[in-house]
């Protein structure tokens, strides 16, 4: 079945759960017109349904092919990419000075969810280009920007990010690709990169590679890494394409999912070295990487949201259609649709509420990053930057964890059919699996949350967030709406657990850092559960203030509070009590 963007849910999450409306009112977005949001998303939804969704299964089945160092994408993909550029979708949040529309990241975040839901393997290509745009815009010379930036913004050329080498995965500092200075100010780059997404393809006539490498006299580790722009084809002074550069796709991976997205081994230097141009300063490549990390991680979180929503839509349709057994007290003739069974209802509500919570967390991260970049007020920018930094690892890890859970529930609802590839539920399950790994594994996100985000200024940004969340809980309780059930109590407990765990971790970071690290993953889950629960409750409160159809949002918020946020207490105990057992792993498991 196809995918339809849930525009109403997205708008409620964006405007109310994530705070876009409040940020607009506060003037942080300048003259950006809020009316546009709905229009852009409606159009994005149409493009996703009409152009991208129909190619999702074709891409999975055909995969990509490598021959003579050239990657061919699946049938229909180059044509779809051309329509993508023509419709201007690549340029949504790109800088206006280089042909972009300059729309808020928050709007682009909703679009990214929509692209990922309709066709995650396709959507990954522009996501990578976006990172390239960010790096070049922030750190590139005016000359490089002039030649490359507009082409990347429009999508006429795509970008790649090349960090990983066989011995350097999570530990980027271990990379060995080398760059040699040339007399003309360019560099010659030599080495092999692995796991390079869209390292080669046939959808555009040039590809702009962003490659990390090490100069001969560079210090060891991350402080000796430089960033280079290496075009697939060199560009002549008049903008036309020149010679083929010495960077080639020499292998492609056979993967669990994302079959349509080429994952390449890239070889540089077989013919004298790839000609590269320095981005930023020598040995400051990691800094360039860090500036774009928030957006890239958020993008992957949105992949988790998108694939979860896709799986949910398919499972919901199946549950209404497939008939097996009879509900208790059913008065129909014959079998009922399986949605009558409470256990199926539970799975569907779980899918829906986890997806909705992750969506709002991601959108709220985007709003914070927007305000940090756009507000005229310096203090507001600083606070928003801290908020965005805090939320980013949660947006990435919580959303991709639930992406895996939700796509698994999608398979489960299909029963035996779910295990058959033809059904399509299994593809979502396969595709989702990488999101918890790439762009920093979810374990690394948890460590980032504890060691770099929580720890800033004695937890200041956590305490500020807790204040806001407690305010939401007070409003839920003040509503006296019985439809909320035990939502208020569950969320209050969850916030208590979050506060105590945060304090405990702050203390341990100083006294016993390994104990803090041992609790990082349950802490992130606790954080996401408490935060997501409050955000959904906030959305439900906003929906109640409008006309009409609010009951569904209250039910979703309630389900989340009573089934997901309620786990916070156990997670708190896990954070605080289990470091000894974790650190006993060597003696328990080895020898």
Write out the catalytic residue numbers.
439
Give least dist CB 560 to a copy of itself, A.
9
Q: Is 518 in the site for a copy of itself (CB under 8 A)?
A: yes
Give least dist CB 299 to a copy of itself, A.
17
Q: Is 570 in the site for a copy of itself (CB under 8 A)?
A: yes
| Contact with a copy of itself (CB under 8 A) among 70, 176, 546, 573 | 573
Question: For a copy of itself, which is the closer residue by CB, 245 or 521?
Answer: 521
Give kind and range of the element (H or E) at residue 194.
strand 187-197
Question: For a copy of itself, which is the closer residue by CB, 430 or 500?
Answer: 430
| Contact with a copy of itself (CB under 8 A) among 8, 167, 182, 382 | 167
Indicate the pairing of strand 274-279 with strand 226-231.
antiparallel
User: Which residues inside 94-153 make contact with a copy of itself, applying CB under 8 A?
Assistant: none
Which span sits near a copy of itself by CB under 8 A: 202-210, 236-244, 374-382, 407-415?
Answer: 407-415
d(CA 507, CA 503): 6
- Which neighbouring-strand residues pair with 211? 162, 228
- Using DSSP's 3-state secondary structure scheme, residue 584 falls into coil
Site string for a copy of itself, 249-268 (x = CB under 8 A): ----xxxxxx----------
Question: For a copy of itself, which is the closer residue by CB, 62 or 206?
Answer: 62
CA geometry: angle at 258 spanning 253 and 261, to 5°?
Answer: 70
Q: Is 421 in the site for a copy of itself (CB under 8 A)?
A: yes
Question: For a copy of itself, which is the closer residue by CB, 215 or 447?
Answer: 447
Question: For a copy of itself, which is the closer residue by CB, 378 or 590?
Answer: 590
Question: For a copy of itself, which is the closer residue by CB, 118 or 442?
Answer: 442
Give least dist CB 468 to a copy of itself, A.
24
Spatial contact of 502 and 459, defined as CB atoms under 8 Å apart: yes
Q: Is 337 in the site for a copy of itself (CB under 8 A)?
A: no
Question: Would residue 459 be called left, alpha or beta, if left means φ above 0 and alpha means ψ between -120 and 50 degrees?
Answer: left
- Which neighbouring-strand residues pair with 189? 179, 274
Which span sits near a copy of itself by CB under 8 A: 140-148, 183-191, 231-239, 548-556?
Answer: 548-556
| Contact with a copy of itself (CB under 8 A) among 218, 373, 437, 455 | 437
Question: For a copy of itself, which is the closer residue by CB, 129 or 446?
Answer: 446
d(CA 145, CA 581): 53
| Contact with a copy of itself (CB under 8 A) among 295, 442, 501, 502 | 442
| Contact with a copy of itself (CB under 8 A) among 8, 170, 236, 332 | 170
Question: For a copy of itself, which is the closer residue by CB, 145 or 341?
Answer: 341
Q: Is 224 in the site for a copy of itself (CB under 8 A)?
A: no
Give least dist CB 438 to a copy of itself, A.
7
d(CA 189, CA 276): 7
Give least dist CB 433 to a copy of itself, A.
6
DSSP 8-state symbol, 578: -
With a CB cutoff of 8 Å and minimum separation 6, the contacts of 358 are: 301, 304, 305, 308, 395, 398, 399, 402, 403, 528, 532
Spatial contact of 365 and 331, defined as CB atoms under 8 Å apart: no
User: Which residues inside 293-332 make contact with a copy of itself, applying CB under 8 A?
Assistant: 316, 320, 323-325, 328
| Contact with a copy of itself (CB under 8 A) among 50, 86, 281, 422 | 422
| Contact with a copy of itself (CB under 8 A) among 127, 395, 520, 530 | 520
- Which neighbouring-strand residues pair with 252? 264
Which span sits near a copy of itself by CB under 8 A: 102-110, 117-125, 455-463, 520-528?
Answer: 520-528
Q: What is the dihedral of CA 431, 436, 437, 443, to 10 degrees?
A: -170
- Cα 452 to Cα 250, 392, 445: the distances in Å are 37, 12, 10
d(CA 437, CA 439): 7
SS (H, E, C) 317-385: HHHHHCECCCCCCCCCCCCCEHHHCHHHHHHHHHHHHHHHHHHHHHHHHHHHHHHHHHCCCHHHHHHHH
Site string for a copy of itself, 445-464 (x = CB under 8 A): -xx-----------------
How many residues sit in the footprint of a copy of itself (CB under 8 A)? 94
Q: Is 486 in the site for a copy of itself (CB under 8 A)?
A: yes
User: Which residues inside 369-398 make contact with a copy of itself, applying CB under 8 A?
Assistant: none
Spatial contact of 186 and 275, defined as CB atoms under 8 Å apart: yes
d(CA 174, CA 168): 5
Spatial contact of 417 and 423, defined as CB atoms under 8 Å apart: yes
Q: Is 10 in the site for a copy of itself (CB under 8 A)?
A: no
| Contact with a copy of itself (CB under 8 A) among 339, 394, 465, 537 | 339
Which span sits near a copy of itself by CB under 8 A: 109-117, 128-136, 302-310, 334-342?
Answer: 334-342
Question: For a copy of itself, which is the closer residue by CB, 105 or 516?
Answer: 516
User: Which residues inside 60-79 make contact with a copy of itself, applying CB under 8 A?
Assistant: none
Question: For a copy of itself, which is the closer residue by CB, 191 or 257?
Answer: 257
CA geometry: angle at 266 spanning 193 and 401, to 5°?
Answer: 60
Q: Is 237 in the site for a copy of itself (CB under 8 A)?
A: no
Burial 75-96 (b: 16+ CB within 10 A, else e): eebeebbeebbeeebbbbbbbe
Rg, Å, the chain Cα set: 24
Give least dist CB 3 to a copy of itself, A.
16
Instruction: Indicate if the alpha-carbon torsion angle 200, 228, 303, 39 is positive or negative.
Output: negative
Q: Is 582 in the site for a copy of itself (CB under 8 A)?
A: yes
Give least dist CB 334 to a copy of itself, A.
8
| Contact with a copy of itself (CB under 8 A) among 80, 300, 436, 531 | 436
């Amino acid at each position: 079945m196809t995918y339809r963007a849930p525009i109403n849910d997205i708008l409620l999450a964006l405007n109310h759960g994530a705070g876009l409306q409040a940020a607009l009112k506060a003037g942080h977005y300048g003259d950006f017109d809020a009316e546009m949001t709905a229009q852009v998303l409606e159009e994005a939804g149409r493009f996703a349904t009409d152009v991208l969704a129909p190619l999702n299964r074709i891409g999975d089945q055909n995969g990509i092919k490598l021959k003579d160092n050239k990657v061919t994408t699946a049938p229909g993909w180059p044509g779809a990419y051309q329509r993508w550029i023509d419709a201007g979708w690549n340029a949504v949040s790109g800088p206006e000075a280089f042909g972009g529309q300059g729309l808020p990241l928050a709007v682009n975040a909703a679009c990214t969810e929509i692209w990922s839901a309709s066709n995650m393997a396709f959507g990954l290509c522009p996501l990578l280009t976006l990172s390239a745009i960010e790096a070049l815009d922030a750190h590139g010379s005016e000359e490089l920007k002039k030649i490359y930036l507009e082409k990347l913004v429009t999508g006429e050329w795509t970008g790649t990010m090349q960090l990983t080498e066989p011995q350097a995965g999570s530990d980027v500092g271990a990379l060995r690709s080398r760059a040699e200075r040339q007399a003309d100010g360019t560099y010659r780059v030599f080495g092999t990169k692995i796991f390079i997404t869209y390292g080669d393809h046939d959808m555009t006539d040039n590809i702009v590679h962003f490659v990390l490498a090490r100069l001969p006299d560079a210090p060891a580790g991350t402080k000796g890494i430089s960033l280079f722009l290496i075009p697939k084809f060199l560009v002549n002074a008049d903008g036309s394409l020149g010679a083929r550069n010495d960077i080639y796709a020499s292998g492609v991976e056979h993967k669990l999912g994302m079959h349509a997205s080429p994952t390449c081994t890239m070889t540089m230097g077989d013919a004298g070295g790839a000609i590269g141009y320095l981005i930023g300063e020598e040995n400051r490549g990691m800094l360039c990487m860090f500036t774009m990390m928030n957006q890239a991680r958020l993008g992957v979180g949105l992949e988790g949201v998108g694939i979860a929503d896709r799986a949910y839509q398919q499972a919901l349709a199946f549950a209404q259609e497939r008939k097996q057994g009879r509900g208790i007290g059913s008065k129909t003739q014959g079998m009922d649709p399986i949605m009558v069974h409470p256990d199926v209802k539970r799975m569907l509500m779980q899918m829906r509420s986890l997806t909705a919570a992750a969506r709002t967390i991601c959108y709220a991260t985007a709003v914070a990053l927007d305000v940090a970049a756009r507000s005229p007020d310096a203090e507001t920018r600083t606070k928003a930057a801290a908020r965005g930094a805090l939320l980013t690892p949660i947006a990435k890890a919580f959303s991709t964890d639930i992406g895996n859970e939700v796509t698994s529930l999608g398979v489960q609802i299909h029963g035996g059919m779910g295990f058959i590839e033809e059904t399509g539920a299994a593809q979502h399950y396969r595709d989702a699996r990488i999101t918890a790994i790439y762009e920093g594994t979810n374990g690394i996100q948890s460590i980032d949350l504890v060691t770099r985000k929580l720890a800033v200024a004695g937890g200041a940004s956590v305490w500020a967030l807790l204040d806001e969340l407690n305010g939401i809980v007070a409003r839920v309780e003040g509503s006296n709406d019985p439809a909320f059930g035990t939502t208020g109590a569950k969320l209050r407990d969850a916030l208590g657990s979050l506060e105590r765990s945060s304090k405990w971790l702050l203390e341990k970071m100083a006294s016993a850092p390994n104990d803090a690290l041992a609790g990082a993953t349950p802490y992130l889950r606790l954080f996401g559960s408490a935060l997501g629960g409050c955000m959904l409750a906030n959305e439900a409160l906003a929906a109640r203030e409008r006309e009409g159809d609010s009951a569904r949002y209250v039910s979703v918020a309630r389900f989340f509070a009573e089934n997901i946020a309620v786990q916070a207490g156990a997670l708190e105990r896990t954070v605080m009590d289990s470091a000894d057992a974790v650190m006993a792993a060597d003696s328990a498991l080895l020898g």
